[in-house]
Chain A
Amino acid sequence: MPNPPPARYRRWHAVPIIQQNWGSNRMGELVEFLRVLMTDPFGFIDLPVRQVITDIVNWIVATFRDFSRTYISPPVRGVMNGVQWGLSSVPPGAFILATFVLGWWAASWRVGVFSVIAFALIGFMGVWDQMIITLSLVVTAVFFCVLIGLPLGILSSRSDRFYGFMRPVLDIMQTTPPFVYLVPAVMLFSIGNVPGLIATIVFAMPPVIRLTNLGIRHVNPEFIEAAVAFGSTKRQILWKVQFPLAMPTIMAGLNQTIMLALSMVVIAAIIGAGGLGLEVYAGLERLNIGQAFVGGIGIVLLAMVLDRITQGLGEKAPGVRDRGE
């Protein structure tokens, strides 16, 4: 096909031709119609998805910008500042010692030793302060993920209808590429730590919801029957039986959430969140490969420590005793 006609023409030209010339050269026009249908079927309909979404986002931003900047930003920023202040006021030596104790208690002495090595390396590479910022961002994001995700997870486990509503939402949240969150976050919250945190919270929350729901639903019905037989109320069953027994699963969700939060916090550097992510981003921008790698190594070390410790906590959870049988 030489020289294709301009797009606007190509899109609709088959229809009027068929309408006008139906009587004179039916056969030829029908063949032409089928040819267009086979070779360029998408020309018939133009779904204005791009425009619709732009409109929706614009509407949301216009409607909620004030709301989000007055009611959502302050608590998020407040918690973030508090956590960061707390973490940065611990002297690095004491901090490292504390992670050793935590690693030992949560998992094993090996994990404790590993934490010491990892944090010491981060310090020696000269990105300690950046690490503290990243850790504060992660802790803050995870705090909100649990605060919102846990009740949603519990609700999902108790009502099939609510879970039916949550499922597609969670699917969308999890499959949307992380970069996509950044645009509306910036539009709603401007740039800086807060939009990065908001994007992180949204991106990292699904595992908590999903696994809380899963953990509670998978509690062996025998235990629930026993609780019922002794006259427990629904609430007592939830808090005395289901929740503790779901704890290992919930902890696995928390672990995933922490990992997702860490990865997102790094990406959020693009919109002005600080920390190790910024190190990577700035390094890449200036083609300073060394700087970018230092940031990257710091992120990996932090991720490994957080992973080992939360996994250890998960195995300490009370309900884990059930797995022995």
Chain B
Amino acid sequence: MIRAENVTKIFGSDPESAIPLLEENKTKDEIRELTGQTVGVNKASFDIQQGEVFAIMGLSGCGKSTLIRCINRIIDPTAGHIFFKHPERGEVDITQLDEEALRTLRKQNMSMVFQHFALLPHRTVLSNVGYGMEIQGRGRRDRQKAAQRVLDMVGLGPWGSSYPSELSGGMQQRVGLARGLATDAEVLLMDEPFSALDPLIKVDMQQELTRIQRELHRTILFITHDLDEAMRIGDHIAIMEDGKIVQIGSPEQILVNPRTEYVAKFVEHADPTGVITASTIALPLDSDKFVSGGERDGISYLHRQDLPNVRYGMDREGRLHDVQLDGQDVPVRRLEEVLEDESARPASSERTGLALTCGEDAVLRHILRSRLHSTLPVVVTNGDGRIRGLIDDPELINGILEKRGHIP
């Protein structure tokens, strides 16, 4: 949907003078010393898919705001290209648009949500939400109806005739969000939209955004300086340092596999339980810690080296057939089913009477919770039901503490 290629922004009296130095991989500080120019964004490239939330995260001053403002050209990039897959006109290069085309793009295709809300104080909430549509030239009635609908969606239905100053910060940002959504633009640019909010309200808003996004499937570029927020919201995360994007990946990829010291430092304090998935930590079937236990009636058995009394039967396709504890069959259930029914939590002594299976994308938090129901290793299966591996306490502990995959 949006593809950035080497987007660069240099602030100062002579931005061009710094370009060759960037090519030589000089750092921001060196360039400042040599030319007096400030590097805002340094050759940022990324590709945002339609309908995803793409989070950009980095410390204060690393150039996030500058980058997001280059996308809708509130700031003109010094170099680079930004391609936008226009719903009617095919791919356009935003950096090449003239004033008029640019305004049309902002009116119809891209809207924005701001860190400090930037609601117009002299307009009511409803008329703030309708601002973008007013600029689009839509009629008053139509506008008000549409604005009210979006306002209902963000849970502020009855507040239309209030003024922004009468609302709390969280409510104001809901209005900001509603204003951004109301124009039906395909792309929503959000510059630290929740940073100015209290922690609890912030989590509320994150959930709200996720809920709305499930309904509307917009393409969202989301800026934040909070890695946990980026992981909760983003389908992909780009990490910025000193104007440069140092790593792009899914939350789990970044958490498990930080590419630089800088990223590793962030990741160190991040909460992995909602991000790391079963497939990452499971002890894979081809590990040498599995011991084969013979075959009977076309079912082959195996067990973990460190747990010989629990045996797993597998048919020829590799699907789980049965689980035996000390030679006795134990019932097998899906992890999701068990978690739904919290009341059926068994007594501690009975927790060995059940085996659980989970999908590859089950997150650590759910697997941990399932330990309240069963202490036997969790069997990880893929979409076809084939066994991929097992998760027992060593894998869980390793996942939480080291944010790594299984111990080889």
Which residues of A approach B to under 8 Å, CB–CB?
222-223, 225-233, 236, 240-241, 244-245, 247, 318-319, 321-322, 324-325
Which residues of B approach A to under 8 Å, CB–CB?
72, 74, 103-108, 110-112, 114, 116, 118-122, 131-132, 134-136, 163-165, 179, 183, 189
Is the CB–CB distance between B114 and A230 below 8 Å?
no
Q: A236-B135, A245-B120, A319-B122 are in contact. List 15 more A-B contacts (CB 8 A).
A: A226-B119, A226-B120, A229-B112, A230-B111, A231-B104, A231-B106, A231-B107, A231-B132, A232-B103, A240-B120, A240-B131, A245-B121, A245-B122, A321-B122, A324-B121
Is the CB–CB distance between B121 and A319 below 8 Å?
yes
Is the CB–CB distance between B165 and A325 below 8 Å?
yes
A279 to chain B, nearest CB (A): 43
Is the CB–CB distance between B114 and A226 below 8 Å?
yes
Is the CB–CB distance between B74 and A231 below 8 Å?
no
Is the CB–CB distance between A321 and B118 below 8 Å?
no
Is the CB–CB distance between B135 and A231 below 8 Å?
yes
A29 to chain B, nearest CB (A): 56
Is the CB–CB distance between B163 and A230 below 8 Å?
no
Is the CB–CB distance between B114 and A231 below 8 Å?
no
Is the CB–CB distance between A229 and B103 below 8 Å?
no
B67 to chain A, nearest CB (A): 15
A222: chain B residues within 8 A (beta carbon): 114, 116, 118
22 residue pairs bridging A and B, Cβ less than 8 Å apart: A222-B114, A222-B116, A222-B118, A223-B120, A225-B114, A225-B118, A226-B120, A228-B74, A229-B110, A230-B135, A231-B103, A231-B104, A231-B108, A241-B120, A244-B122, A245-B120, A245-B121, A245-B122, A321-B165, A322-B121, A322-B122, A325-B121
A320 to chain B, nearest CB (A): 8
Is the CB–CB distance between A232 and B114 below 8 Å?
no
Is the CB–CB distance between A229 and B122 below 8 Å?
no
Tally of A-B Cβ pairs under 8 angstroms? 71
With contacts A225-B74, A321-B165, A325-B165 known, is A232 near B135, CB below 8 A?
A: yes
Is the CB–CB distance between A230 and B74 below 8 Å?
no
B134: chain A residues within 8 A (beta carbon): 240
Give bound CA distance, A91 to B164, whole Å: 44
B164: chain A residues within 8 A (beta carbon): 321
Is the CB–CB distance between A230 and B122 below 8 Å?
no
With contacts A231-B106, A241-B120 known, is A226 near B163, CB below 8 A?
A: no
Is the CB–CB distance between B120 and A230 below 8 Å?
no
Is the CB–CB distance between A324 and B118 below 8 Å?
no
Is the CB–CB distance between B121 and A229 below 8 Å?
no
Smallest CB gap from B109: residue in A: A231
B111: chain A residues within 8 A (beta carbon): 229-230
Is the CB–CB distance between B114 and A233 below 8 Å?
no
Identify which of B105, B107, B122, B183 gathers the most chain A CB atoms within 10 Å of its CB: B122
Give bound CA distance, A59 to B371, whole Å: 101
B114: chain A residues within 8 A (beta carbon): 222, 225-226
Smallest CB gap from B107: residue in A: A231
A225: chain B residues within 8 A (beta carbon): 74, 114, 118
Is the CB–CB distance between A229 and B106 below 8 Å?
yes
Give bound CA distance, A232 to B131, whole Å: 10
With contacts A225-B114, A230-B112 known, is A321 near B163, CB below 8 A?
A: yes
Give bound CA distance, A236 to B107, whole Å: 13
